[in-house]
Amino acid sequence: MGKKNRKVGLWMYQNGGGDTIEKKLVNKLKERDIECVTGLNLNEAYAENNHIYCNGIQMDTLDLFFSYNAGEQTQYQMYLYKTLDKVVPCINNFESFALTEDKFQTDFLLRQNGVNTTDFCLCHRDDHKLLKQFIKQWEQIVYKPVDSWGGVGLTKINSEMVLDTLFPFLDQLDMRFFYGENYVDYDKTDYRIDIVDGEYIGCYGRKAPSKDWRTNITSGGSIFLREPEEEVVDLALAAAKITGLEVAGVDIIYDRKKKAFLVLEVNGIPAFARPEQEEMGLDFNEKKIDKLVELIDRRSSGFMR
């Protein structure tokens, strides 16, 4: 089917069983006559005239680039990713990936399209009057850096007094704006729904530790097996579709006050189940790999997206 001698570039995380997943991906693509080049870290790439080179590979001649390395992307990486995406099909596509790296941009687009998210506000950091209005209205605000991950930098502001004591610090911080969310009354558990190519792949739950309100593993959260309600899956599918991510991990919580499910976050590089999680019974890896292989095969064959 399609083009001959296809070559696909991969940049995949190696920890937590990522190396094993990558090997499976490479083998399954090989069965479809698609050659893989791994370890293409854009941080180590450079451009010369009409080419982008990495480890001796001309990346602009690849049939597809799969970028799947979690953690912070440098500005340099993002810049080259943006460039490469213009000439080579990238998964995730750059535009959607960049969108979901920003919580405000993502939530705004989701809400515009009628998808339930936490209530949020964005204002100039000097707009103390407005922030006071929001804390009156919501009682508790979660301050969030729009581009953070792992629960880092999230601060719960639970009274006007706390807000008052924060203002002098806000003025000192080098930030352009204040992004805040209504603190949701929820049971300290969430759903993580994995989506590939518009299809539901799997679900698990995360639970915050007793002393924290954040479910992130880095905040001490733990993973548990969880079957999602149909409503949760539909919400995740809608969120993935609106962001345009080919591969998405959608975090969802249940708002006890509003009695509704909300999208908390859309992740562009949701991790595969780690070996110890697979042992626990998280069994979506094979399905996720197969769906990815299908998607990469289709997108690298020169047909339209």
In the complex, which residues of this chain contact ligand ADP (CB under 6 A)?
118, 142, 144, 148-152, 154, 181-184, 190, 208, 213-216, 251, 264-265
Q: Of these, 252, 265, 292, 295, which contacts Mg ion (CB under 5 A)? A: 265
Provide, rounded to whole angstroms, the least separation between the CB of residue 265 and Mg ion. 4
Which of Mg ion, ligand ADP, none does residue 96 bind to, with CB < 5 to 8 Å depending on kind? none
Q: Which does 41 bind (CB under 5 to 8 A by kind): Mg ion, ligand ADP, none?
A: none
d(CA 236, CA 251): 8
Beta strands in 50-188, from DSSP E residues, in sequence order: 51-54, 57-58, 64-68, 90-91, 120-124, 141-143, 155-157, 177-182
The verdict on whether omega for the bond into residue 92 sits within 30 degrees of 0, i.e. cis, is yes
CB 22 within 8 A of CB 80: no
Q: Does position 101 bind Mg ion by CB under 5 A?
A: no
Work out how close the CB of 284 gets to ligand ADP at its nearest, in angstroms, rounded to a whole number.
19
Nearer to ligand ADP, 217 or 280 (CB): 217
Q: State which residue, 131 or 264, has the beta carbon closest to ligand ADP.
A: 264
Contact 155, 101 (CB under 8 A): no
Let me know if 237 is exposed, middle or buried by CB neighbors in 10 A (0-12, 13-18, 19+): middle
Query: Which residues, 6 or more positions from 56, have their beta carbon under 8 angstroms from its beta carbon?
Result: none
Closest separation in Å from C-beta 144 to Mg ion: 10
Which of ligand ADP, Mg ion, none binds 154 (CB below 5-8 Å, type-dependent)? ligand ADP
- Judged by the rule CB under 5 A, the positions of this chain that interact with Mg ion are 265
